[in-house]
Amino acid sequence: MLNLSLQQQGDALRAKKISSVELTQLYLDRIATHNPVLNAYVTVEAHKSLAQARSADAMLANGTAQALTGIPIAQKDIFCAQGWRTTCGSKMLDNFISPYDAHVITQFNAAGAVNLGKTNMDEFAMGSSNETSYFGPVRNPWDIKAVPGGSSGGAASAVAARLCAAATGTDTGGSIRQPAALCGISGIKPTYGTVSRYGMIAFASSLDQAGPMGRNAEDLGLMLNVMTGHDPRDSTSLARDKEDYTRDLSKPLKGLRIGLPREFFAAGLSQDVAQCVQAAVTEYQKLGAVVVDISLPNAKLAVPVYYVLAPAEASSNLSRFDGVRYGYRAPDYTDLTDMYEKTRAQGFGEEVKRRIMIGTYVLSHGYYDAYYLQAQKIRRLIAQDFVEAFKQCDVIMGPTSPSTAFNLGEKGDDPVQMYLSDIYTIAVNLAGLPGMSIPCGTGANGLPVGLQIIGDYFKEAQMLNVAHQYQMATDWHQRVPATVGA
């Protein structure tokens, strides 16, 4: 049952082959067994999950069930959920109980889905390995010595290890796609503004976007059907009609134009990853697609631009954590200024403090024009590169990550090397485009490799079709980590 897709689990629930309470309990038992090792969840409250499952069973009984009614979903601990501890992976919010629901949570509650718990993450979504969490690192179920990627590493690990049916994540510079690649699952970051950021704890507001993580493209489509929709409480939420993201899954790919950016296959890409990506492209050619050579000349500037803009926005967004209204407060201080200083010094981890300091520096008098404004100009050039590329192709493909999962602690002392883990994903966020990752093979060490698919604005349904057709022809998405059993 736990290896079934969302559609299959939904069919089983509606056919009364299993109840939501029984299905939820299966996952809770599995979490109890494997989470002590994987550390994928920060908070699990079985009584709350089972209460939601009982409500879902009532919906199933009275005929008001929707596609995801009764299905247990894990929520990244960046989404506020009423009555649930919401930590964002930080000591600063260790004991924060949210008084309201994020829009994403509201959408899943309305759909009758079950909240299995809150998944571990890099502190305030700042990290590419899930090692910056105050609650300890998450482990990759394919190799518990390896990282799962970040910042949505807990969600990716939970999906891969079958500790949930699917999960929510957020993506600021690759934080859905990179962990999806490293854990051998599927994940999509939709077009910026498609999913409301209301109740999603902010890191970099012009880049943050929520999205689903699941086993296959069909699962992602069903999740997007629930997550998307206009929310007037979020000024960046787009007023667009709801759409069915699964509508085109079965369309043939004959004539599909796949753009391969030469910049994505240059120095820095591991040979085993390149081989898997090329094999996936060859499979697409068998399915009727044609390959187009394209260029994204400013892509090489994406990482430095991101690490000016994202910290600048973070320094502003995280100024609210001051020990006054909620969250951690230093126990000993002499006056208000001393309380601010000690609270923030003790409450934030090293990576968060590093980014706040960088962001404050680039926004400071004398440096704003030299760094922040220049980065914004280059951001426009990066977005324009994609506009030109999509005149030649329908989708862009390449690696999601330059390598397979690296070991815990391997890059901890070298922030620049850690930042380069997102070299292929960051440009998508800077342009506000949709991007996704699906499994396409295994590297020399036997760990998963992700294929990145980038679409034009609002082309999520087409991207899911492209991914689904590949998954119908291959079985990489069906493989289960041996370390956690079938």
pLDDT score for 417: 80
Whether residue 103 has pLDDT greater than 90 = yes
Whether residue 416 has pLDDT greater than 90 = no
193: left (phi over 0), alpha (psi -120 to 50) or beta: left
**148 contact partners, CB below 8 Å, separation of at least 6:** 40, 129, 130, 138, 139, 140, 141, 154, 156, 157, 160, 179, 182, 183, 405
Between CA 287 and CA 94 the distance in angstroms is 49
Tokens of 91: 């000591």
Q: Does the annotation count 175 as an active-site position?
A: yes
Is residue 253 within 8 A of residue 285, CB to CB? The reply is: no
| Tens of pLDDT, residues 260-311 | 999 999 888 999 999 999 999 999 999 999 999 999 999 999 999 999 999 9
Whether residue 335 has pLDDT greater than 90 = yes
Reported confidence tier of residue 485, pLDDT bands at 50, 70, 90: low
Whether residue 76 has pLDDT greater than 70 = yes
Whether residue 390 has pLDDT greater than 80 = yes
3-state secondary structure string, the chain? Answer: CCCCCHHHHHHHHHCCCCCHHHHHHHHHHHHHHHHHHHCCEEECCHHHHHHHHHHHHHHHHHCCCCCCCCCEEEEECCECCCCCECCCCCHHHCCCECCCCCHHHHHHHHHCCEEEEEECCCHHHCCCCCCCCCCCCCCECCECCECCCCCCHHHHHHHHCCCCCEEEEEECCCCCHHHHHHHCCEEEECCCCCCCCCCECCCCCCCCEEEEEECCHHHHHHHHHHHCCCCCCCCCCCCCCCCCCCCCCCCCCCCCEEEEEHHHHCCCCCHHHHHHHHHHHHHHHHCCCEEEEECCCCHHHHHHHHHHHHHHHHHHHHHHCCCCCCCCCCCCCCCHHHHHHHHHHHHCCHHHHHHHHHHHHHHCCCCHHHHHHHHHHHHHHHHHHHHHHCCCCCEEEEECCCCCCCECCCCCCCHHHHHHHHCCCHHHHHHCCCEEEEEEEECCCCCEEEEEEEECCCCHHHHHHHHHHHHHHCCHHHCCCHHHCC
Q: Does the annotation count 129 as an active-site position?
A: no
Reported confidence tier of residue 412, pLDDT bands at 50, 70, 90: confident
Distant-in-sequence contacts of 319-323, Cβ < 8 A, 24+ apart = 321/92, 321/93, 321/347, 321/348, 323/347
* Type of residue numbered 197: R
| Tens of pLDDT, residues 174-191 | 999 999 999 999 999 999
Between CA 190 and CA 229 the distance in angstroms is 12
> What CATH class does 6-256+392-484 carry?
alpha beta
| Tens of pLDDT, residues 154-174 | 999 999 999 999 999 999 999
Strand order in the sheet with 114-119: 41-43, 114-119, 72-76, 166-171, 209-214, 186-189, 435-442, 448-455, 395-399, 257-261, 290-294
Catalytic residue among 19, 20, 151, 152: 151
Whether residue 87 has pLDDT greater than 60 = yes
pLDDT score for 446: 95
Reported confidence tier of residue 420, pLDDT bands at 50, 70, 90: confident
Q: pTM for the full model?
A: 0.97
Between CA 15 and CA 12 the distance in angstroms is 5
Length of the chain measured in residues: 486
Catalytic residue among 76, 118, 411, 459: 76
Reported confidence tier of residue 399, pLDDT bands at 50, 70, 90: very high
Q: Can you tell me the mean pLDDT for 407-417?
A: 85
Q: Which residues pair with 453 in a beta bridge?
A: 397, 436
Q: Which of 319-339 are b and which e, b meaning 16 or more Cβ less than 10 Å from the residue's Cβ?
A: eebbbeebbbbbeeeeeeeeb
Q: Does the annotation count 151 as an active-site position?
A: yes
Please state, rounded to an integer, the average pLDDT across all residues of the chain: 96
Q: Which residues pair with 79 in a beta bridge?
A: 200
What residue spans define the domains of the chain? 6-256+392-484
Where does residue 230 rank: exposed (0-12), middle (13-18), buried (19+ CB within 10 A)? middle
Catalytic residue among 175, 196, 315, 421: 175
Residue whose structure tokens are 């309305």:
110
Q: Can you tell me the mean pLDDT for 223-243?
A: 96
Check whether the bond before 316 is cis (ω within 30° of 0).
Answer: no
| Tens of pLDDT, residues 190-230 | 999 999 999 999 999 999 999 999 999 999 999 999 999 99
